[in-house]
Structures are given as structure tokens and as C-alpha cells.
């Protein structure tokens, strides 16, 4: 096909404009994060003298990091967050896929109502029940434990996980289950041996969706487990920075220590997240 030269030039200039807009916004999105990370690797003098420059031989310093690691329980905060997040994800994924399977596979009275009941939590923030949650956790003797956080986060994560997984379960071909049933395989075994392996891609998406709000939450760590030794990374950083507001090296280093792991995880899982969204898992 022949291409008109003018059209081609128009296309070119249009592409330039489009990329200029996208680059500008990318810069707006990333520059603040970049700025914090580069300055964390500078000496105090470097931070103030040349805030926008990259660390160089003269300004490079790891002072901030050594201070944070010496003064705060950073490793402990990280470990607490990690434990809570991983345990919650495992429980949410197991319980949600079991429930989603039952809801999508079996016809029983009240099926639709139960699905609706379990979906209410997608729209209603669990935070509004905090007064009663605190009472409940106190009564169970779980105050200041990571278990308290796990229980609340499981309840918070289940609705969306069940909703997404139910949609996904509907797409599993009927023949697979029928073949297994004809061979006399039990319902539990069908779920664990046939269905669970099949939904692996959806599980990854749900895991990312469940993980981010838990890892980043401040509210529940603040009210349920604020005590020494149980702080999650978000709460620990919040308290640490509150104490050392004027120590710029320590503040910048602690921010970087909290940002870098989540950025790293995001880069690993971003494809999974986007695929989950664009494959129509969320409608």
C-alpha cells in the first residue's frame, strides 16, 4: 500500500506529542520517589547543597542507613509485616478459592444470597467496625499480637478474593469435573487436585490485590498491635520518623528502606496484576 508522505509526517508529530505527554506524567509519578532514594545515599551536606544531583564521590554516604539500622528495629518491623502478609495471603487464597468453588459449582438454596452477602465487604470499609473489632480482639486476648492483624486482614481480603475467583471458576470447562466425577473421584479431591492447579493464574492476581493494602495499612497496626516488637513496617516507620524528624539522613534512609522492597515486588508482579485486570477479572 502506498503511504502519503504528509500523512506519515503527521503521524510522526502525533507520536512525538503522545510520547511527550506520557513521559511528562511518568516523570511526575517517579521523580519524587527517585529524589528520596538518591538523597538517602548522600551526606547531610550533600542533601542540602545539591538536593537534585546524583550522589557523587564527594556527597556519597551511607550514614542514614547505618543510623536507621542502629536506632530502629527495622529488621523486626520488616519481619512482622512479612509474616502478617504471607500468612494472610495463604489463608485468604485457600478459604476464598474453596468458597468461590462452592458458590460457582453447586446449586443450593440461598446460593445467590450468600454470594451477595460475601460481596458486601467489597464496598463497606472494615475500618468502620473498629470499635467492635478492638473489643473482640481484647476479649479473645489477642491484643498486641500479629494474630489479631491476620484475622482482621483475612476478613478484609476475603470478599474481593471470593468475587474475583468466583468469576474465574465459571470459566473452568464442565467436562473436566464431569470426567473426574465419572471416575468416582470425591468432591474434595476434585477441588484440591483438579481445580486448585487450574486457577493458579487467578490466584497470583488475587494474591497481589490482597497483599498491597495489608502491607501498607496503618490503621489496624495502630489500634490492634502498636506495642514494642509487634509494629509492622508502616507503623514502625511512622513512629520512627515522628521521633527523628530533623535527622534528614535517617528519615530519607528509612523511607528508602520501606519503598525499595515494595517497588521491587511490584516490578516482579506488575504483569500479573495488569493481566488480572485486563483479562476481565474485575468488571
Q: Which of residues 230-269 bind other proteins (CB under 8 A)?
A: 234, 237-238, 241, 248, 251-252, 255, 258-259, 262-263, 266-267
From 3, 132, 139, 184, residue interacting with other proteins (rule: CB under 8 A): 132
* 1 binding other proteins? (CB under 8 A): no
C-alpha cell of residue 64: 542514614
What would the x/- binding string for other proteins be over residues 14 to 53, using CB under 8 A?
A: ----xx-xx--xx-xxx-xx-xx----------xx--xx-
* 156 binding other proteins? (CB under 8 A): yes
* Beta carbon of residue 69, minimum distance to other proteins (angstroms, whole number): 18
DSSP type of residue 272: H
Query: Which one of 1-9, 70-78, 106-114, 196-204 is the stretch in contact with other proteins (CB under 8 A)?
Result: 106-114
CB atoms within 10 A of CB 5: 8
Under rule CB under 8 A, how many of the chain's residues touch other proteins?
A: 95
Residue with cell 511512622: 238
* 162 binding other proteins? (CB under 8 A): yes
* 87 binding other proteins? (CB under 8 A): no
CA distance 276 to 209: 10
* 102 binding other proteins? (CB under 8 A): yes
* 278 binding other proteins? (CB under 8 A): yes
* 215 binding other proteins? (CB under 8 A): yes
C-alpha cell of residue 133: 473489632
Query: Which one of 63-71, 82-90, 198-206, 214-222 is the stretch in contact with other proteins (CB under 8 A)?
Result: 214-222
Residue with cell 500468612: 87
Burial 78-108 (b: 16+ CB within 10 A, else e): bebbeebbebbbebbbeebbbbbbbbbbeee
Scan residues 169-198 and list those touching other proteins (CB under 8 A).
170-171, 174, 177, 186-188, 191
List the beta bridge partners of residue 42: 60
CA distance 210 to 101: 19
CA distance 219 to 130: 9
Amino acid at each position: 500500500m502506498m503511504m502519503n508522505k504528509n500523512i506519515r509526517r503527521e503521524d510522526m508529530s502525533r507520536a512525538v506529542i503522545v510520547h511527550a505527554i506520557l513521559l511528562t506524567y511518568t516523570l511526575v509519578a517517579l521523580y519524587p520517589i527517585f529524589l528520596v532514594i538518591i538523597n538517602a545515599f548522600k551526606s547531610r551536606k550533600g542533601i542540602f547543597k545539591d538536593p537534585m544531583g546524583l550522589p557523587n564521590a564527594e556527597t556519597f554516604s551511607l550514614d542514614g542507613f547505618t543510623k536507621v539500622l542502629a536506632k530502629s528495629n527495622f529488621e523486626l518491623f520488616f519481619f512482622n509485616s512479612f509474616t502478617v502478609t504471607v500468612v494472610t495471603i495463604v489463608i485468604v487464597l485457600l478459604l476464598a478459592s474453596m468458597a468461590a468453588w462452592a458458590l460457582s459449582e453447586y446449586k443450593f438454596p440461598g446460593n445467590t444470597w450468600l454470594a451477595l452477602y460475601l460481596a458486601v465487604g467489597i464496598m463497606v470499609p472494615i475500618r468502620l467496625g473498629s470499635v467492635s473489632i478492638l473489643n473482640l480482639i481484647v476479649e479473645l486476648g489477642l491484643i498486641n499480637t500479629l494474630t489479631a492483624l491476620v484475622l482482621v486482614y483475612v476478613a478484609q481480603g476475603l470478599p474481593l478474593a471470593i468475587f474475583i475467583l468466583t468469576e474465574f471458576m465459571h470459566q473452568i470447562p464442565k467436562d473436566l469435573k464431569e470426567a473426574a466425577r465419572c471416575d468416582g473421584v470425591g468432591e474434595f479431591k476434585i477441588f484440591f487436585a483438579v481445580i486448585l492447579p487450574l486457577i493458579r493464574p487467578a490466584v497470583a492476581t488475587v494474591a497481589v490485590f490482597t497483599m498491597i493494602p495489608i502491607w501498607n495499612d496503618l490503621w489496624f497496626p495502630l489500634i490492634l498491635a502498636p506495642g514494642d516488637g509487634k509494629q509492622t513496617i508502616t507503623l514502625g516507620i511512622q513512629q520512627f520518623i515522628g521521633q527523628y524528624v530533623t535527622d534528614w539522613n535517617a528519615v530519607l534512609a528509612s523511607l528508602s528502606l520501606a519503598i525499595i522492597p515494595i517497588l521491587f515486588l511490584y516490578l516482579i508482579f506488575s504483569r500479573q496484576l495488569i493481566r488480572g485486570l485486563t483479562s476481565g477479572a474485575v468488571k
